[in-house]
Amino acid sequence: MDPLAPFITRCAPKAARVSSLVLTVFGDAARPRGERIAISRLARLLGHIGVVPGALRTTLSRLARYGWITRERAGRNSFNQLSSGGEVAFANATNRICAAPEPGLPTRWSLIARGPKPALALAVGEAL
């Protein structure tokens, strides 16, 4: 049995999450290398977590229409990559998420989760 199966089952994507998954793959995996991704490879990758090809095609069409990605055909293959606007937006988000805390901002965060354990207070950069 696949050890990730229980996690994948719990996190099976809803239609609204497919675009987030696609943008995460493009932004976190392809963008740093300047790569484009074949739709067939993206479908295989995201198929492992329950994204069906029809939902992927719809998502890619919408992301292209909104200007997040560009599309290109090469023979029988279709490739996508972040557009220049998508690159800028993703870089801005990455810089904000990964930046050191600004002076004067709180350096402790509260992580609150439902469950039997109480909330945890973590210092910035502290592991769970």
Our CA angle for 13, 35, 9, nearest 5°, is 15
Q: Are 44 and 52 in contact (CB under 8 A)?
A: no
* 65 pLDDT above the threshold of 90: yes
Q: How far is CA 39 from CA 111, 122, 126, in A?
A: 37, 40, 38
Q: Note the pLDDT of residue 112.
A: 57
Query: Where do the structural domains in the chain lie, given as residue ranges?
Result: 5-100
Q: What is the CATH number of domain 5-100?
A: 1.10.10.10
108-111 and 120-123 beta bridge pairing: antiparallel
Q: Note the pLDDT of residue 57.
A: 92
Q: Note the pLDDT of residue 62.
A: 92
Q: What is the pLDDT of residues 10-42, one digit of tens each?
A: 665 555 588 888 888 888 777 777 788 889 999
